[in-house]
Amino acid sequence: MVGCFVYFNGFLQHVYPQLNDICTDNANIMSYDQLLALREKLTNFKTETLHQIVVLTIADLGDDTIENYAFQVFEQNQLGQEGADNGLLIQFSENDREVRIEVG
């Protein structure tokens, strides 16, 4: 999957994923069972600690950096609880072979 771009006010803008799950495997690197198990562990962790860990895999970054991509996803999805800074995003870019941990 190549990065998604749209034109906005005459400028090319990158579109970052809207996360609807605690674990989003857009690169399809996990089996169905692995994905379910990870979702269960992350949900249990969130329930027990109130800290939110979210995992995102993507195929590639396109022309973006891993630092900017993870920051934009984190901010757009407002991870963690407001005022608590208890969100954490773990992002994997498969083809770029890069990993980033973004914290609130």
Question: What are the structure tokens assigned to 81, written together?
Answer: 């609880």
CA distance 90 to 92: 7
Per-residue pLDDT of the chain (104 residues; tens, 9 = 90+): 344 444 444 545 678 999 999 999 999 999 999 999 999 999 999 999 999 999 999 999 999 999 999 999 999 999 988 888 899 999 999 999 999 999 97
CATH topology of domain 4-103: Diaminopimelate Epimerase; Chain A, domain 1 (3.10.310)
- Asked if 79 and 89 count as a contact pair (C-beta separation under 8 A), the reply is yes
- Asked if 44 and 60 count as a contact pair (C-beta separation under 8 A), the reply is no
| 3-state percent helix, strand, coil for the chain, nearest multiple of 5 | 30, 30, 40
Name the residue ranges covered by the structural domains of the chain: 4-103
The whole model's pTM is what? 0.83
